[in-house]
Chain A
Amino acid sequence: MGSSLPPKEANLFKLIVKSYETKQYKKGLKAADSILKKFPEHGETLSMKGLTLNCMDRKTEAYELVRQGLKNDLKSHVCWHVYGLLYRSDREYREAIKCYRNALRIDPDNIEILRDLSLLQAQMRDLTGFVETRQQLLTLKPNHRMNWIGFAVSHHLNSNPSKAIDILEAYEGTLEEDHPPENERCEHGEMLLYKISLLEECGFLDKALSELHNKEIKIVDKLACKEQEVSLLVKLGRFDEGGQLYRLLLSVNPDNYRYYEGLQKCCGLYRDDGHYSSDEIDRLENLYLSLAEQYSRSSTVKRIPLDFLQGDKFCDAATKYIRPLLSKGVPSLFSDLSSLYNHPGKAEILEKIFLEIEDSVRKSGQYPGREEREPPSTLMWTLFLLAQHYDRRGRYDDALSKIDEAIEHTPTVIDLYSVKGRILKHAGDLAAAAALADEARCMDLADRYINSECVKRMLQADQVALAEKTAVLFTKDGDQHNNLHDMQCMWYELASGESYYRQNDLGRALKKFLAVEKHYADITEDQFDFHSYCLRKMTLRAYVEMLKFQDRLHSHSCFHKAAIGAIRCYLKLFDSPLKSSAEEDDETSKLLPSQKKKLRQKQRKAEARAKKEAEVKNVESNSSNVSKSGKKHIKPVDPDPHGEKLLQVEDPLSEASKYLKLLQKNSADSVETHILAFEVNMRKQKILLAFQAVKQLIRLDPESPDTHRCLIRFFHHMGSLPPPMIDSEKLIRTVLDIERPEISQLHEKSLLEANEFFLHKHEDSLMHRAAAAEMLLLLEPGNKAKAIKLIEDSTNNMVSRKGNNGSVVEWKLKDCISVHKLLETVFLDKDAASRWKLRCAEYFHYSTYFGGRCSSAVPSSSYCQISKNPINGGSSLPGGGISLDYVASNGNLEGFKDLVI
């Protein structure tokens, strides 16, 4: 380094490097400048000066200098390495890898560059390259522990775990007998556990087990060691030993569901689907009875039997389980039980239990058949449980009457208001739900959870400004919601994006959806530091698991939702593009010249005002930053806070395709993915890709209304195209001609017949009928009346459930809303739409969408008046005498009448 320089300057060069490493950038800059005074063309010095400037936030200068340096000294590995580091700091990993490779061509054995390269290869999953680099590093420095481990991990990642084992064993061979020293015991233990997990992965179960037994003494993480051992025993079919070990683990933690599951497997009493024979149920019951004696303090051991018990036994066990929790007051009891509602018959039994408890506690203050008096709160918790039960069953009137009674009983319990809000949300009154959530929030201003719940309800009710204000209550320094972005608060960004989308503010919606996408890019980025850290700390099992997690990161539900949201925005943008400036000019040209002039002046003034405001804001935020941290820390100002620039994309469909690809790769089993793929590709005229989407939909759900729509629309579109002219079009036709008979829905039928067939097959289902009607309209626009009749003739059956009086209409609110939108926007039939609305208002009388009579959309409904005062304050002991002016009531939307809907 700096070899071409005379001794004095060579020393100065070393100083630059040292200053860079110790972050004394000013010192380094000085040294660089004094070399450059004498040798202004010295490449390596120019490069190093650039790198130093890069750390001082002078990016453009940095790139110029580094490039200049490289040009002056193309044969220097230092210049290439520096160029690579520069790219790396800007996360341009592919470019950085190229630079490192050039550097290595000049200096193939440079350890530092090799190590940097290996990190980038791991990050980019260039696994063959990673193996090569790691091998080179080991060959160069075999006495370094990290090089052995790195080489082994690289083979494991490159799908060669048995090679990884060989390397680790060779490494162990280099160690002394008394290894490890006291300060390396954790690291060594982790290495051993990693090796054993590799043996398991390769299927060398016996060897893994014997290795584990031999090295047990050297493994520090005893719990992980036992869990590994039991996993091996079960895989080897040694169930007796496995069972014993699971019991041992249960004594350590009797609330770990996986241990119970494992023990059941060892006893031959485990089924994935949860369906057991009556003999098995008896044996399971006995197993858990004996376990419950041993672990009397565990709630898990009492809860699990509710999953497999049936009938009377379930009834007894559930009663025993529920009662103490109601006495104690456990607000989460319903969510604990809610999975049981998926088991046939259990919801009815639970309802019976709840009602018996309610009746008995209300009358005597005791549980049925018990002597002890219950605390007064038991009745309230029982009502709370019942309200959630009815909510789950879709009986919103009953649910609301129970929750109102609970609030009247004890108006200070926050959960009651949250649940009431949730019931109203399910019943279709989003504004009232938000008001209730806000009431809950006000009761404990220090609780972030209820604050967040309230924000979410407000966003669902499209009260974005209010939601933003509420969310900001819990961000640091009450800073704007930028802070929520920094905290990667994705639920907020998704809910707010969806709200903007509903309000047709596509710019802001896109802004939020893309913000979520950005978080995922950041999460991918964040793994970079761990490539070196984990090898050094030997947390190899966690490291490999983290890499695997990163590989499927984009299948996470938040990304899924964000990508769907963004694609929908782009589709909308394509279907109804913004007015271009030319068109706007066209509109202004209709005006008189004087009017035009005025308009332009107005616009100019508005622009100037906005600019000024933005500047003032900037100054303000900067000055506040200065005062707080002492030194100047400028937050970059978002140049496009409302997403207006995002709307000006040239080609919305190609933007949509970017996110679509990620969905297809990571969420291939989601119906949504392929519906969007169909929509995007139809618009792009990509026939075969659209057809592929149709085939995927048929694979996932052949009978769904959406699949039917896409299928019919696709072939209808094909039929409407002119005959193919060029070869590629002819080829597409040939493919489709071969494929069409393969589709069982079509076979030899015409599209009209296929639609008819579909209708008859699913004539009892509203959504299927609506799809058939929509397709009928598409195929035969003249048959509009017939199509509308198809929808209107649908019958909404009352589903009554045995064992109770309450019955529920079959149709879902969500579905009815989409049918209404269909009538309004596709059929363009206002009369039919308003007939539908009237009809649905009867079914969903809390729905604001349909203007149901109990919803907050109707001025005379109970939620817009202050209803009667609860009478729970009968004979209290009044003290002070402040004049009576106003009677409000708890939980009945006090002050809600002020809200504008």
Chain B
Amino acid sequence: MGVGGREASISLDGVRDKNVMQLKKLNTALFPIRYNDKYYSDAISSGDFTRLAYYSDICVGSIACRLEKKEGRAIRVYIMTLGVLAPYRGLGIGTKLLNHALDLCVKQGISEIYLHVQTNNEDAINFYKKFRFEITDTIKNYYTNIVPPDCYVLTRSFSPPQTKK
């Protein structure tokens, strides 16, 4: 603990049946969408990819991922949601969450991680670009209830792992 206890620690923890409500509470506060049960079962079965972020024991943010099968046996990761409660932004918590997922991709030899973002959400687009995500596609009329209805697909590809010669 820092001087006067002011340096709060940030830690990550997994999502299980017992604490999935924390993720629901975060999503209710963060996104104008009520996610269905499949979202939560995908998140739990993605294992280590889905994390809750704790700011000195308070749950303040999350990254929720889904593992998708590509052709063959390859797997890619889809980031369903990434968010941090407003008062706790700017403390590096989102970065920590995203880095966690990216590191895990590298460790597990996963070639691709991607997500959807609304075309006017510049803050988000810039944020992901810092992590070497690139716009790889645009989908028209992706959203049904918000304007603009279009979204970009942001993808980060990892070079195939170096094999020993």
Contact = CB atoms under 8 A, between A and B. Distances in A.
A880 B86 contact: no
Specify which of A412, A445, A869, A883 lies most central, judged by the most chain B CB atoms within 10 Å of its CB.
A412
Give the most central of A880, A885, A890: most B CB within 10 Å: A880
A342 B9 CA distance: 37
A271 B32 CA distance: 60
A880 B79 CA distance: 7
Contacts of B92: none
Given A329-B56, A445-B19, A879-B117, A410 B87 contact: yes
Nearest to A869: B32
B81 interface: yes
A152 B135 CA distance: 89
A878 B56 contact: no
Contacts of B6: 327, 372-375
A194 to B, nearest CB: 45
Given A873-B29, A879-B117, A375 B8 contact: yes
Contacts of B18: 444-446
A412 B58 contact: yes
Given A443-B25, A889-B28, A878 B83 contact: yes
Interface in A844-896: 869-870, 872-890
Interface in B120-159: 121, 123-124, 127, 142-146, 151
Given A412-B25, A881-B151, A327 B4 contact: yes
Indicate the size class of the contact surface on chain B. Answer: 35 or more
B28 A890 contact: yes
Interface in B1-45: 4-6, 8, 17-19, 21-22, 25-26, 28-36, 39
A220 interface: no
Contact of B33 (A380, A410, A446, A882): A882
Determine the interface band of chain A, counting residues with CB < 8 A from chain B. 35 or more
Contacts of B55: 375-377
Contacts of B86: 872-876
Contacts of B102: none
A694 B91 CA distance: 68
Contact of A877 (B88, B121, B142, B145): B121
Contact of B87 (A324, A328, A409): A409
Give the interface centre of A373, A876, A882 by most chain B CB atoms within 10 Å.
A876
Contact of B39 (A442, A869, A880, A888): A880
A379 interface: yes
Nearest to A328: B5
A70 B55 CA distance: 76
A376 B18 CA distance: 27
A813 B129 CA distance: 59
Interface string B103-133: 0000000000001111001011001000000
A249 B36 CA distance: 59
Contacts of A877: 82-83, 94, 117, 121, 123-124, 127
B127 A880 contact: no
Interface in A357-409: 372-377, 379-380, 408-409
A349 interface: no
Interface in A413-433: 413
Contacts of A327: 4-6
Contact of A379 (B36, B57, B78, B87): B87
Nearest to B78: A880
A443 B29 contact: no
Nearest to B154: A879
Contact of B116 (A377, A408, A412, A880): A880
A806 interface: no
For the residues of A in contact with B, the DSSP-based class is loop
Nearest to B84: A876
Interface SS, B side: mixed
A129 interface: no
Contacts of B57: 329
A889 B36 CA distance: 16
A516 to B, nearest CB: 31
A744 B75 CA distance: 90
A2 interface: no
Nearest to B39: A882
Contacts of B118: 878
A377 B88 CA distance: 8
Nearest to A377: B58
Nearest to A408: B29
Nearest to B32: A884
Nearest to A331: B57
B145 A890 contact: no
A376 B117 contact: no
Given A879-B79, A882-B36, A413 B58 contact: yes
A643 interface: no
A374 B36 CA distance: 37
Contacts of A443: 19, 21-22, 25
Given A327-B4, A375-B6, A443-B22, A873 B30 contact: yes
Contact of B29 (A373, A444, A872): A872
B80 interface: yes
Contacts of A880: 35, 39, 64, 78-81, 115-116
Contact of A375 (B56, B81, B127): B56
A875 B123 contact: yes
A412 B83 contact: no
A413 B57 CA distance: 9
A7 to B, nearest CB: 70
A875 B142 CA distance: 19
A702 interface: no
A883 B149 CA distance: 11
B81 A883 contact: no
Contact of B4 (A372, A411, A875): A372
B61 to A, nearest CB: 9
B66 to A, nearest CB: 8
Nearest to B65: A879
Nearest to B87: A376
B85 interface: yes
A890 B35 contact: no
Contact of A410 (B58, B82, B117): B58
B32 A376 contact: no
Interface string A448-468: 000000000000000000000
Contacts of B94: 877
Interface string B34-77: 11100100000000000000011111100010000000000000
Nearest to B115: A879
A885 B123 CA distance: 25
Residue from A380, A870, A875 with most neighbouring chain B CB atoms (10 Å): A875
Contacts of A442: 21
A287 B134 CA distance: 66
A880 B127 CA distance: 16
Interface in A289-331: 324, 327-329
B26 A411 contact: yes
Contacts of B151: 881
Contact of B117 (A373, A869, A878, A888): A878
A878 B39 contact: no
Q: Which of A374, A379, A874, A885 has the most CB of B within 10 A?
A: A885
A879 B58 contact: no
Contacts of B58: 329, 377, 380, 410, 412-413
Given A410-B58, A444-B18, A445-B19, A876 B87 contact: no
Give the interface centre of A375, A881, A883, A886 by most chain B CB atoms within 10 Å: A881
Closest CB pairs A-B (n = 6): A880-B80, A376-B87, A412-B59, A886-B34, A873-B30, A876-B83
9 contacts: A377-B58, A409-B87, A876-B84, A877-B123, A878-B124, A879-B117, A880-B79, A886-B34, A890-B28
Interface of B: 4-6, 8, 17-19, 21-22, 25-26, 28-36, 39, 55-60, 64, 78-88, 91, 94, 115-118, 121, 123-124, 127, 142-146, 151
Given A379-B87, A446-B18, 8 more contacts: A375-B56, A376-B91, A412-B59, A873-B32, A877-B121, A879-B64, A879-B115, A884-B144
